[in-house]
């Protein structure tokens, strides 16, 4: 596997809507594996394709250690509730923002092998999936943030997503 460069805020690629993946091929699997390695190397919990300069609708996420999810052409089927929480982003370094996200979502997409999967996530995992999904539509979390902090000025919180 290879580490890929993470695109940061200001690069216009992060503001574009991604195209669907036509077919899950060996090349797509290689990109997904590279994204996992890149996410791990950067200590993130999620990484979307546009964050590594690829304009395709896919992301990887690991909201809990050793529990990696692969999403190709994801669609959020339903969402419930809402809660505020702090988020960071590998493409928006040194910043944290408070964002309102659903407390529960159901999402469908193709996995690493091209099989259709449907998952329901709650709490932090739902937040991670929504954050990554937004990247596919050119949305960064600061667009939705109620307030932003420099990482050094962040109030004490339990978990912050770096995706």
In whole angstroms, how far apart are CA 77 and each of 61, 74, 81, 107, 131?
Answer: 18, 9, 14, 5, 15
Which of the 8 DSSP states describes residue 103? S
Q: Which helix (H) or strand (E) holds 40?
A: helix 26-41
| 159 included as an active-site residue | no
**Which one of 20, 64, 122, 132 is the catalytic residue?**
132
Decide if 96 contacts 161 (C-beta within 8 A).
Answer: no
Q: How many CB atoms lie within 10 A of CB 58?
A: 27
For residue 107, give every residue at least 6 positions away whose Cβ sits within 8 Å of its Cβ, in sequence order, or none.
71, 74, 75, 76, 77, 118, 119, 120, 121, 129, 133
Q: How many CB atoms lie within 10 A of CB 140?
A: 18
Catalytic residue positions, numbered: 132
């Amino acid at each position: 596997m290879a580490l890929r460069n993470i695109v940061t805020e200001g690069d216009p690629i992060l503001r574009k809507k991604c195209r669907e993946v036509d077919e899950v091929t060996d090349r797509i699997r290689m990109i997904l594996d590279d994204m996992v390695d890149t996410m791990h190397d950067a200590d993130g919990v999620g990484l979307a394709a546009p964050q590594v300069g690829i304009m395709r609708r896919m992301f990887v996420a690991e909201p809990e250690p050793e529990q990696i999810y692969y999403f190709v052409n994801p669609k959020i089927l339903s969402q419930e509730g809402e809660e505020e929480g702090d988020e960071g982003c590998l493409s928006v370094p040194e910043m944290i923002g408070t964002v309102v996200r659903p407390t529960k979502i159901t999402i469908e997409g193709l996995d690493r092998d091209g099989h259709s999967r449907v998952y329901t996530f709650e709490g932090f995992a739902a937040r991670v999936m929504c954050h990554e999904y937004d990247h596919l539509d050119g949305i960064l979390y600061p667009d939705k943030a109620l307030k932003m902090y420099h990482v050094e000025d962040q109030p004490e919180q339990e978990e912050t997503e770096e995706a």
